[in-house]
Structure 1
Amino acid sequence: MEQPVHHFSELFEQLGLPSDATAIEQFIKRHAPLPDEIALADAPFWNEAQANFLHDALEEDADWAEVVDHLDASLRKP
């Protein structure tokens, strides 16, 4: 069975955040760069539900994992 593909904007919707291109760009600019020693799910700007979702998506290699990895990479760039 093929895994569903989630778009970057859908991840923001799932996290309860504005998901238009401008809002996503502003979010990344506001929170990047995330230091290497801080796991994405442990970043201080997530609420508990968001952090749990991100952690579980990666831990379980869920269908969200690829787009969560994309978010992680985007937040690591200076």
Structure 2
Amino acid sequence: MDKTHHRFHELFAQLGLPHDPLSIYDFLTLHAPLAPEVRLADAPFWSPAQAEMLRQQRCDDADWAELVDQLDASLRYNG
């Protein structure tokens, strides 16, 4: 099985978000830390389409799942 290796900024592009390094930093700074009891896809800052994409990628263990997990971890970091 050949899995495509995506980069973190490509996930932001896939979500329809600005994906240059400064925009990613600003997004993470604005929205972190995400409360432990809130699932990533249930965070209030996602559009319905973005939330569904995050749910689906993780549920299907799709080729984006690893980056969705990385995004989740990045939003929970406090420091």
Q: Same fold (TM over 0.5)?
A: yes
**Structure 1 stretches of 4+ moved >3 Å:** none
Q: Deviations over 1:13-45 (max 9, x none)?
A: 000000000000000000000001000000000
Q: Which residue of 1 aligns with 2:24?
A: 24
Root-mean-square deviation (CA, aligned residues, Å) is 0.5
Q: Which residue of 1 aligns with 2:7?
A: 7
Give the AA of the match of 2:31.
Answer: H
SS in 2 for 1:11: helix
Structure 1 vs Structure 2: percent identity of aligned residues? 56
SS in 1 for 2:69: helix
Q: Distance in 2 between matches of 1:5 and 1:52?
A: 21
Q: How many residue pairs were aligned?
A: 78
Give the AA of the match of 1:9.
Answer: H
Could you state the TM-score of these two structures normalised by the residue count of structure 1?
0.98
Q: Distance in 2 between matches of 1:7 and 1:27?
A: 16
SS in 2 for 1:38: coil
Deviation for aligned residue 1:2 = 1.7
Could you state the TM-score of these two structures normalised by the residue count of structure 2?
0.97
